[in-house]
Amino acid sequence: MNAMRNLILTRLCMAIVTLFLVSVIVFAAVRFLPGDIAQQLLGQSATPENIAALRSQLGLDTPGYISYFRWLGGLLQGDLGQSIATGREVSELISARLKNTLLLAGFTAIIAIPLGYLLGFLGALYKGSIFDRTSNVVALAVVSLPEYFVAYVLVVFMAVHLAWFPALSRVSPSMGAFEYVERLVLPAMSLGLVIVAYIMRVTKSSILNVLGEDYIQMAQMKGNSRARVMLVHALPNALAPIINVTAINLAYLVVGVVIVETVFVYPGLGQLLVDSVTKRDMPVVQAVCLIFAAIYILVNAMADILIVLSNPRLRHAK
């Protein structure tokens, strides 16, 4: 029990240190973008006095390390700063967008992850069959295509030609549940197809990798069916890579939405990030990038812990 507690604390401490380093990189990358941010925000007709005043307001006239620790201190107190473009609190801008992004990610995950497990298990169960060969070809084709290309193909066929779903995914709290879900389908498919392909391939290969173990052969000699051997004996011992790829794809669902949200004009964090970069709204850009990094780091830390918990050999390693 003490070893497990130490492991969890170690993973969480590593996640916090990593997040701190990422915050430094994010702040530095945004602050040292080429060009004068104040000049670009005010335009070419701005007077030197106005530029100097805006630079002072943005903290650009103070040393970088001082500005960083002021920003970090605000973050630790829950203050994400104020948007340059709108004058609103960054936390207010992000809260609704974060909810939309998490809703899209959750909707996609509920469908894509179990489907990936199922197809991977069936591919291992019927290895060499037409189903296995076809699913491998389709999965390889899907993972080879960029998300924006998949998104535009879905728009052309399912929104323009077939008119099954709307091409744009603008949503609002006033919408009914059915209309809301209808507008999530195309962006969820754009994200989910790649996730299904990755999880299917890893699940299949992980199960097949343990089929040569002695305990699997013993289970087969006892007369268990192939499906039971795979489900009861092989799958639990193949969970580590499956959990790992699931965590990576869960993080991708939140972090990788930028392109998909932009294509479908979905009001999530990805669309907010693109709009803020265009407007040079640096406080919003910094906050969104840090949120994406925090989600990715914490999901992967939880995956490390789950991998150890699911494997007795790692739990009781000497």
Does pLDDT of 313 surpass 80?
no
| pLDDT given at position 10 | 80
- The one-letter amino acid code at 235 reads L
d(CA 120, CA 205): 8
CB 142 within 8 A of CB 193: yes
CB 241 within 8 A of CB 200: no
Burial of residue 141 (CB within 10 Å: 0-12, 13-18, 19+) is exposed
Range of weakest confidence among 84-88, 133-137, 202-206, 279-283: 84-88
pLDDT band for position 74 (cuts 50, 70, 90): confident
Per-residue pLDDT tens digits for 230-264: 777 677 777 777 877 888 888 777 777 778 888 88
Q: Can you list the domains of the chain with their CATH numbers? A: 2-76 (no CATH), 91-315 (1.10.3720.10)
CA-closest candidate to residue 248, choices 209, 283, 291, 198: 198
| pLDDT given at position 64 | 67
Range of weakest confidence among 92-96, 112-116, 180-184, 229-233: 229-233
CA 158 to chain centre: 25
Per-residue pLDDT tens digits for 171-211: 777 777 777 788 888 888 888 888 888 888 888 888 877 77
d(CA 42, CA 237): 60
